[in-house]
Chains A and B, each alone.
Chain A
């Protein structure tokens, strides 16, 4: 039983459900992915497959990776993902994984990298409120006090301050699958997923959902 697939976020839109309600959905072009490597409990201590997504030219791959891809003999790929499976699953190297592993009504987790915001101030990064813009105010977007003085004579750890924001891996749990279009490799999930358009996302069966 395959539990995950790599995909590309295409963007958001909306669909009407059977009751005519509007559902916000993210469209993901998921797969087809190719099994590059099969790990077995005999050789590797656990059972898993490594899948590749987004084919690229051979010369674009580094030499070590090229050797790895040649072993499978299914071309070179931009993105790889290892997924744990049951030992009895008949997933050999070269077999294809398509979006039809999911069906409407399934619950999935989606992982991706959020949009990078660079060095961001506390208002953007931590939703600080900021000060007044006019009327003689000299306090606009500054963080304010970051602690007391002589005691403790230091800034306590994890103080919310300006710094790098975004471009981090984020997992959104328990998104409902609204639609699957296997012929176009499309997956529609309810709600937003991390990342910009065309960014890589990993969709897996929800791990925290009971009875899924």
Chain B
């Protein structure tokens, strides 16, 4: 490890769940207003990562009263209280900037299908600290996965 990485490594956060582009996440961040500190959350679709070690950021987009809102968070920021992964999206590109141009039906994102767990194969969940909230909609046990 170089000394430069060494300086960065102490600041890296490893406690946050893994999530990727297309996921719907709820980001809880601490906000200071004068003397008081409170936690505010922002829920939306992750539309891109800018990966650069300690300087890695991610962009979350949501529609708020018909207006598109995007926020960029440093992923290693100590101000992030926690991140909840609400949905896993199935997307085919790294940056979802096209969402800025579309609305309604075109702005939907397919949910990632979890074939393995349906068949009863246990794989370690990627978003480890998450509970059942992030699981795909329940499927009746006897049903076989469709092609």
Contacts and interface: CB of A to CB of B under 8 A. Distances in A.
Interface stretch (B14-22, B70-78, B86-94, B139-147): B70-78
Interface residues of B, number: 17
A13 B30 CA distance: 24
Nearest to B30: A20
Contacts of B32: 19
Contacts of B7: 13, 15, 27, 181, 186, 188
Contacts of A20: 30, 77-79
B11 interface: yes
Residue from B3, B8, B54, B79 having most chain A Cβ neighbours under 10 A: B3
A16 B76 contact: yes
A10 B4 contact: yes
A188 B77 CA distance: 19
A29 interface: yes
A15 B7 CA distance: 9
B3 A27 contact: yes
A22 B4 contact: no
B6 interface: yes
Nearest to B79: A20
Contacts of A10: 2-4
Given A16-B76, A19-B32, A184 B55 contact: no
Residue from A11, A15, A16, A29 having most chain B Cβ neighbours under 10 A: A16
Contacts of A184: 3, 6
A190 to B, nearest CB: 14
A14 interface: yes
Interface string B46-80: 00000001110000000000000000001011110
Contacts of B2: 10
Given A19-B32, A20-B30, A13 B4 contact: yes
A156 B74 CA distance: 51
A22 B77 CA distance: 8
Given A13-B54, A14-B55, A19-B32, A27 B4 contact: yes
Contacts of A186: 3, 7
Given A14-B54, A19-B32, A20-B77, A29 B11 contact: no
Contacts of B8: 13
B86 to A, nearest CB: 24
Interface of B: 2-4, 6-8, 11, 30, 32, 53-55, 74, 76-79
Interface of A: 10-11, 13-16, 19-20, 22, 27, 29, 181, 184, 186, 188
26 contacts: A10-B2, A10-B3, A11-B4, A13-B4, A13-B7, A13-B8, A13-B55, A15-B7, A16-B74, A16-B77, A16-B78, A19-B32, A20-B30, A20-B77, A20-B78, A20-B79, A22-B55, A22-B74, A22-B77, A27-B3, A27-B7, A29-B3, A181-B7, A184-B6, A186-B3, A186-B7
